[in-house]
Every structure is written in C-alpha cells, then in structure tokens.
Amino acid sequence: MGRRLVLFPVPFQGHINPMIQLANLLHSKGFTIIIIHTKFNSPDQSKYPDFTFHIIPDGLAEEHDDEASTSDITLFLKQLNFNCFVPFRECLANLLSNVENEDPISCLITDTNWYFTQDIADGFKLPRIAFRTCSICCFLAYQLLPLFREKGYLQKQDSQLEVRLTEFPPLKVKDIPFMKSRDHRVVDKFIRQMIEKTKAASGLIFNSSKELEENELIKIGQHICIPTFVLGPLHKYFPASSSSLLKQDRTAISWLDKQAPKSVIFVSFGSIAEMDEAQLSEVAWGIANSKQPFLWVIRPGLLQNSQELVRLPNGFLEAEDGRGYIVKWAPQQEVLAHPAVGAFWTHSGWNSTLESICEGVPMICSPFFGDQMVNSRFVNDVWKIGVQLEKGLARGEIEMVIRRLMSEKEGEEIRATAMSLKEKINSSLEEHGGSSNQSLESFIDYIVSL
Ligand code: UDP
C-alpha cells in the first residue's frame, strides 16, 4: 500500500493555502507528504516539520522573487507551466528512483492549473489527482466557454452585459469568467489545456461542499467522467494563517476588540487584485461616506505599480474621522470570526468566499476577474448571502449597498440566510454523515487502491 503523496501547489496565496490545508489533512490521516514547489513564493518550510520539501527552479527573473502577485496571471502561469516541465520531471524521477526503505509514491496531487504535470505523470505511470482550488460553479462556467463563444457572448458587447445566460442561469454575460491577460488567445489555450488535462487525470478534488454546490457538482459530472471528491471547506480543518506569504498584522484583532458587535465592515481584495488610483479613491470615499467603522487591508501592490504605502485621497482621513483601521495584511480568518465584524467587502476570491460563508458573514462583492465574477453572482443570486456591486467601484453605489446591508431590513434577511448557510456548510465536515467527511473517506480509499 503506497502511503507517500507528492503535492505541487501553484505559487499564489489563494492556491497555496488550500493545497497546504489538504496536505495537513492527509498527513493527519497517516500519509507521508512530499511538497514540490517553485522558488517563486515558496512556502515557509519551518512551519511544516513533518513534510519533506523539494524546491525546483522556475526560470523566473530575479525581480519576481519577492512578489506575491503579478499583473498578467495567465501569461505568468503559462510561462511557469513551460519553465517547470524539465525541473519537475527530474525532481519526480529522483523521488521515484529513491525507493529504498521508503513506501512507494501512490499518487501526485497537483493544481488543475499545472496542466503540464499530467503528461509527466502519464510518462511515469503515476496516477495524478487534479486539485481545483476554485468553486465548482466557476469550473462549470469554464466548461461552457466554447458554447458561450459560439453564441457570441465572449465579445461582451455593452448592450449584452446585463443579459442572463439561458445556458447557465443566473449568470449574466458580464459574469462570464475571464482570466487577466493582455492576449485572449493565451487565455483560451490555457483554459483548454487546463480542462483537457483535468479530464485525463485519475481523479478530481474540489475545495467546496455538497451543501453549497450540489447542483453544479451534478452538472460537472456531465462533462468530466473521473472520480470526483468534494472535501471542503479545507480551512476549517487547518487555518490559512500558517501558509500566509505576507506577515499578518495582529493589531487588527486588538482594534476589532474595541468595536461594537457586528458594526465593522472588513474590506479586503485578496492577494492578486489591483486597482488604479481612481478606483482606490472610489473605495475610500465609498467607505468614508457610509459612516460605518471599517477595517481595510491595503496590501503592497493593491494599487497598480505600487509596492509602497498608498497615499489616500486628500480629505479622506478627516472624513472617516477615526472610524477606520488600515493594515497591510490581516489574519483574515480570525477577522471574519470576530464578533465585531458585520460584513465583508470582498473581491470574491474562492477562499475568501468560503471563509466568509463559514463564519456567516454577509458579503459585498466586487469581483475583478476569473472565478470571482461567478462566485460573486452565486453569493448575490443563488445563496443570497450578499450584494454584488453591479457598477464596478463607484462611491454612490458602495455607500448605498453598505447602508442596505448594515442598517436595513434587507440586510437582516441576508444576515439570517448567511447564518443558516454557515450551519449547513459546517455540518458537511461532521465526522458521522457529513458529506465532505464521507467524501474524504472515499478519497482515501481511492488513493490507497491506486
Ligand atoms: N488573506 C489573508 N490576509 C489578508 C487577505 C487575505 O490571510 O489580509 C488570505 C485569505 O484568508 C485567503 C487568501 O488570502 O485564504 C486569499 O485567497 P482568495 O482565494 O480569496 O483570493 P486570491 O488572493 O487568490 O485572489
């Protein structure tokens, strides 16, 4: 029976966190964990004394070394898929040849965005399990991209943006996920390869829960015919804080301790999203004009082309009048669990969305790209646990939505729905009968049988 597993995370915060959480979970079930990772954004090995790490050269220029994000994600990932092919194959070959006194390696678990790893796994006759760290609903939308293209939706003409897609309700044309890139042919090819190589894998894991995405899971089964396991929300087993690439500022918690229950809006747009100065100004004035207390994460790089501290608009500090607190990076999971937090204004990244759902915190959604558009629509229209800003970043709408959520009857209803979804999603992890727990048991049986 093979008990060693090789995991390979995509080197972005939103992908590293769930992969490390999965590694911890499988380790707690008796597996030996080997992590192969790139030099770029490499995890802090000292936090995982039980894992073995192998670093591979990623061919990136030195100036990328301290970056936690990049402005053309698809091109960047495509480049990494190309650059890592040979070093990854050599690293794996070494691991597979050094079997003396070691259990055999039973499978490779790699992010679906590492499409190149499927051919390498096939070459070594080693099963590969693909791990999709984003939502099932978004993966389904990617499956339907050829259909959307055929229908002419991908041109996203202004007159069509608000039209609902009959092929995938409740998405609107403007919600069709696109990946950040200067060149759309690169995006198309990237998604095609990602899907093709996922279909060729021996299994597929989602960090989600049946309680949340059962319908989408059934629909995915019509496109992908490999064993599929829904194991999330993984951050409930092991928190994301240990795999944080940036230092989390804990003064955020002591500041929250002094605030009234459910009064604070937590504002954070994840590790990759960027905005220009005009958008940053809309965000600032939207929050200030709402007159609500806020905790705002302004990470280095949130303002395009700026790794330095951001200069806030003139008059903003006087206008917010001490109601707010700004940090560069927060202990987000703990913040969302704090009794003072009343709403989460998020970019709708999948980890952020799951973390918010698990704490029953209603959301204000400002999606920027990719899966965020689909997650946001589901939060607004399907789960009904938040409100999407439909006009992008505009101070008037921001102020109005904050008021609707924090002080009107509609907000109370959304909060009640969020609380009941929290109970449901958390029950999926229960040891006896929880859907994710059952799926985990099936997954373990499956990889042991490979
Ligand atoms: N995060 C954090 N501190 C912050 C903001 C975000 O620790 O101040 C974590 C958050 O808890 C989540 C991850 O960073 O686990 C962001 O992942 P997500 O999928 O939401 O967005 P991405 O960064 O991939 O766009």
Q: Cα(297)–Cα(283) distance, rounded to whole angstroms? A: 12
Q: Indicate which residue's Cα is closest to atom 6 of ligand 1.
A: 270
Structure tokens at 391: 């006009």
Residues 387 and 380: beta-carbon distance below 8 Å: yes
The closest-lying atom of ligand 1 relative to the alpha carbon of residue 329 is: 8
pTM: 0.95
pLDDT by position in tens, the chain (length 450): 458 999 999 999 999 999 999 999 999 999 999 999 999 999 999 999 999 999 999 988 765 544 434 678 888 999 999 999 999 999 999 999 977 767 889 999 999 999 999 999 999 999 999 999 999 999 999 999 888 888 888 877 788 889 999 999 999 999 998 766 667 778 889 999 999 999 999 999 999 999 999 999 999 999 999 999 999 999 999 988 889 999 999 999 999 999 999 999 999 999 999 999 999 999 999 999 999 999 999 999 899 877 777 889 999 999 999 999 999 999 999 999 999 999 999 999 999 999 999 999 999 999 999 899 999 999 999 999 999 999 999 999 999 999 999 999 999 999 999 999 999 999 999 998 999 999 999 999 999 999
Q: Which CATH architecture has domain 245-426?
A: 3-Layer(aba) Sandwich (3.40)
Q: How far apart are CA 114 and CA 10, in angstroms?
A: 7
Do 4-237+429-449 and 245-426 agree at the fold level? yes
Q: Would you tell me how many other CB atoms lie within 10 Å of the CB of residue 98?
A: 9
Query: Of 187, 161, 192, whose CA–CA distance to 175 is shortest?
Result: 161
Backbone angles phi, psi at 376, to 5 degrees: -65, -45
**Residue whose CA lies nearest to ligand 1 atom number 24:** 14
- Which homologous superfamily is 4-237+429-449 in? Glycogen Phosphorylase B; (3.40.50.2000)
Q: Which of 332, 345, 355, 375 to mutate to test the pocket of ligand 1 (most atoms within 8 A of CB)?
A: 332
Domain ranges of the chain: 4-237+429-449, 245-426
Ligand 1: residues whose CB is within 6 Å?
12-14, 17, 240, 244, 248, 268, 270-272, 297, 329-330, 332-333, 349-352, 355
Q: How far is the CA of 301 from the centre of ligand 1 (A)?
A: 14
Instruction: Calculate how far, in angstroms, residue 270's C-alpha sits from the geometric centre of ligand 1.
Output: 4
Q: Residue 337 — φ and ψ, nearest 5°?
A: -85, -5
